[in-house]
Amino acid sequence: MELQFLGTGAGVPAKHRNVSSIALKLLDERNAVWLFDCGEGTQLQILKSTIRPRKIEKIFITHLHGDHIFGLPGLLSSRSFQGGNEKLEIYGPVGIAEFIRTALKVSQTRLSYELKFIEIKEGVVFSDKQFTVSCKPLDHGIASFGYRIVEADHEGELQVDKLAVLNIPSGPIYGKIKRGESVELPDGQVINGKDFVGEKKLGRTVTILGDTRKTPNSVALAENATVLVHESTFNKDEAKMAKAYYHSTSHQAAQVALEAKVEKLILTHISARYLTGDIIQLENEAKEIFPNTKVVKDMEIIEIPFKAE
């Protein structure tokens, strides 16, 4: 499981930062990619990566400001040209379906695959045996949501090498052992299946927030998360401006991470006015409150480790 930051800028594209888009790469888990927001130029960023548009299974939109959605019509169209035939689900606030349908209709774009729209409200928006995705509203002056992605625990792996030492052939007996049952071998020996199954790995939790002021819902969404992705549009001295524009400062993002007891904080949605020295300052400001903080740049990949039990 990896996060790749296709765009980490705020508002408008800049030479060194494109606007918002994050890919949650689940290639080992389900051979798919989930996209969070799709600002202008996202498909160009994808061309610089190893992501294949046909692997994009779901797109989650946090809110309908242009720097988070203007890349959608182009990406959806290109996905057809690049062999994407599988259904694509798009989650987002009320209005996302109208925006996309209007753009496709006016441009007379026909897709080679089915689009399914899920216009969200607070609660669980997707769930299967592997993942549960829930959302809560944030505070941005427009309907803006944060998403919490929770992975199911991974059962321990069958330790085949240890079974081979006992000359136990593969077959239905492996299933019993994997379930932790006691099994009698042909020579009369009884083994405990639990002795041949590795430790369970706790599922990971990723929280990706849309643009927002500091709000209790941010903390609730991020509770005990493995990784929290939070906007940091302003530095710590610009709290008044952040409030006026419904955004967060570096300190406010760090306070959310601290209160939620997350493992790692990732700062993104960085204003174009901040250059290299300013970025270091933003990161250091957040580290004053939450040391395990990183400001990401475009195309950067962050691996999401399993949580320790």
Q: Is 269 a known ligand-binding residue?
A: yes
d(CA 150, CA 207): 9
Give the sign of the dihedral formed by CA 91, CA 92, CA 95, CA 96.
negative
Check the annotation: does 63 bind a ligand.
yes
Contact between 299 and 5 under an 8 Å Cβ cutoff? The reply is yes
Is 154 flagged in the annotation as binding? no
Ordered DSSP codes for 172-219 = HHHHHHHTT-EEE-TTS-EEEGGGGB---BBPPEEEEE-S--S-HHHH
68 is in an annotated binding site: yes
Tell me: is residue 247 an annotated ligand-binding position: no
SS3 149: strand
> b/e map of 47-57 (b: 16 or more CB within 10 Å)?
eeeebebbbbb
Question: Would you please indicate which residues are annotated as catalytic (active-site) residues?
Answer: 67
User: Distance (Å, rounded) from C-alpha 180 to C-alpha 193?
Assistant: 4
> What's the CA gap between 190 and 225, in Å, rounded?
41
8-31: b (≥16 Cβ within 10 Å) or e: bbbbebbeebbbbbbbbbbeeeee
Quickly count helices (H) and strands (E) in the chain: 11, 16
Binding-site positions read 63, 65, 67-68, 140, 211, 269
Binding-site positions for Zn(2+) read 63, 65, 67-68, 140, 211, 269
